[in-house]
Structures are given as C-alpha cells and as structure tokens.
C-alpha cells in the first residue's frame, strides 16, 4: 500500500521569511489539532518523525482522529530512527502504535548495520562516549537524511515543545531548517502535564518506562531517570548535562562536514600507517591541494542536499 501524502490542492508554494512569519502569526492561538489540520491541508510531503515520546504519541493520536473524521487512512506516515540502542520497551511501543492507528511506519537504521553488534564492530564499542557528534550523525542525522531522500519528505511533524527548554524555548508552530525542511511543532505551547493529560484522556499507549520515573526516553546507554527538580529532558544524556539535542535539530550541513572531515583524517592516518610513516600527517599528500578538494566536496554536497528542500 502506498503511503498517504498530504493534499497539495492548497499547498503553500514557498516558505520564505515573510510567508513563515505570517503563517506563525495565523497559528499563534491555534490548538495542536488545528495546527496539524493546517499542515495536512497546506504542506506537501508531510511525515512525522518520532521516537514515540509522549508529545509525538499525542500528535499521532491527533492525526488518527483527523483521519477518521475525514474517513481516510492515517494521513501522516511515521518515520522512526532505530539507533540499534533503543530500549526493548520503545521498540515494542513503536509496533503497538503502528497497529493501533494503522499508521504507515518507516524504520531507518545506521547505514550498513542492522543491530548494535554490527555497529560496534564497525565504529567501536562506546562511540557515544568517545565521539558524541559522530555517534549522533551516524545513528540519527544520516539515517534521517536518507529517509527524507528515499520517501520524498518535504516536511515533518515533530514532538518538540517550548517547555522542554534550551534551544526549544522559543519554538514557533512552523519552522524551516537550513536544508529547506519544514518542521511543524503542533504541541509547542503545551507543557508536560498538558501532554500527559491528553495521553490519559485519549487512551494513547505510551512507554511503560515513564511509569518507572523516566520522562524522556532515548538510547538505553545514555538515558537515566531525572532527579527531583531537574528538567524534563535532563535524564536524556546521562554523561553530558549540557547536551540538549541529538543532532536532528542542529545544522545538518555543519554536522555533515564535520563527520566527513573526520573520515578523511582517519583515512589519511590509515594511509600513513600503511606506509610506515612515524606520525600522522607526514604523508606525501599535498595538503594544500587536499584542503582545496575538501572545500570543493563540501560545497558540492551542500548544493546537492539543498535540493531536498526544493
């Protein structure tokens, strides 16, 4: 069965700064359900990216209600990024939601691996500790970009809220990132209790870990229960209290360039070692030419990726 897509009959042609400002002004007092309905009717290529946290689950339920009211299949397909380190409870929940709402579920894992054992054989046993940015790129950023390319995604519904703080404190209902991807944040004005009340009222299935004291559930190796008085997402990255985002909502081009630069440096180090050079960097490669080539590759990649937002 082909995945449903949003109607394009009244699609907004482009989200330039002026249009975006007007859209957010129009949605300033809208309910989450109204924002979702607006997105379904006006934004083509609409999907929902979700790790099945409470806010994402509430949005999925609202999409289901709208779909039933219109007597249509679930209107916004789901994208789930399987890092290979999710709790078993999260994986079970993903499939329970797929069944309950008859929602198309697209799962994307890190390139070339299907489980944690294969990931660690390729990248090391504790990459999340040794190089967080590379880890985030491999398990979230690259799979997400691959999902967008594969599925033709132009816009996503997210589970971000202002009350989660940090970079999310000033969220608007609709944003556009550096790649041109439209991000719809229907529950941006709700607090944690608002979301939990909706979940309970609507009978939405949720992660049983929440009943054990967790509030934001990510990978098992980095998620802990928040302490009394700590913020909702404080337990998301146990070893890094300053971290607030996994990479999906950071500058994609910057993360891509940083990852590719590290890969090139690793390749050069391996080449140096194979030649028997004593120190990395003592190769016969003309570094000025190499750096020029890097810049050219970065620029080419950026233009290529920008086409995703066309």
For residue 250, the SS3 value is coil
Active site residue 246: yes
Q: Which two tokens stand for residue 184?
A: 């719809």
How far, in Å, CA of 215 to CA of 73, rounded? 31
Query: Exactly one of 59, 171, 246, 248 is catalytic; which is it?
Result: 246
Rounded to whole angstroms, the Cα distance separating 33 from 62 reads 6
Buried b (16+ CB within 10 A) or exposed e, 60-88: bbbbbebbeeeeeebbbbbbbbbbbbbbe
Q: For residues 216 and 219, what is the distance between their CA atoms, to the nearest angstrom?
A: 10
Report the distance separating Cα 73 and Cα 250, nearest Å: 32
What 3-state class would DSSP assign to 153?
coil
The Cα–Cα gap between 305 and 255 comes to 13
The first and second tokens of residue 16, run together, are 């330039």
Active site residues: 246
């Amino acid at each position: 069965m082909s995945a449903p897509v949003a109607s394009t009959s009244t699609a907004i042609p482009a989200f330039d700064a002026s249009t975006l400002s007007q859209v957010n002004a129009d949605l300033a007092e809208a309910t989450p359900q109204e924002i979702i309905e607006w997105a379904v009717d006006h934004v083509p290529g609409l999907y929902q990216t979700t790790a099945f946290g409470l806010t994402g689950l509430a949005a999925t339920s609202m999409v289901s209600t709208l779909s039933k009211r219109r007597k249509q299949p679930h209107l916004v397909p789901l994208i789930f990024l399987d890092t290979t380190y999710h709790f078993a409870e999260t994986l079970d929940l993903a499939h329970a939601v797929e069944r309950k709402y008859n929602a198309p579920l697209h799962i994307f894992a890190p390139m070339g691996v299907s489980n944690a054992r294969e990931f660690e054989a390729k990248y090391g046993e504790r990459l999340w500790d040794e190089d967080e940015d590379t880890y985030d790129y491999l398990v979230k950023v690259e799979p997400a970009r691959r999902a967008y390319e594969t599925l033709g995604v132009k816009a996503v519904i997210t589970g971000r809220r202002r009350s989660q703080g940090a970079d999310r404190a000033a969220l608007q209902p609709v944003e556009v990132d550096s790649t041109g991807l439209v991000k719809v944040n229907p529950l941006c004005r709700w607090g944690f209790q608002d979301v939990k009340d909706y979940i309970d009222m609507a009978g939405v299935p949720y992660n049983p870990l929440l009943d054990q004291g967790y509030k934001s559930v990510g990978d098992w190796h980095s998620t802990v229960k928040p302490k009394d008085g700590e913020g909702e997402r404080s337990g998301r990255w146990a070893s890094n209290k300053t971290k607030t985002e996994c990479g999906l909502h950071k500058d994609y081009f910057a993360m891509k360039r940083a990852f590719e630069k590290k890969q090139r440096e690793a390749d050069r180090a391996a080449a140096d070692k194979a030649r028997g050079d004593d120190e990395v960097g003592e190769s016969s490669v003309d570094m000025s030419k190499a750096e020029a080539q890097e810049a050219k590759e970065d620029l080419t990649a950026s233009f290529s990726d920008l086409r995703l937002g066309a």
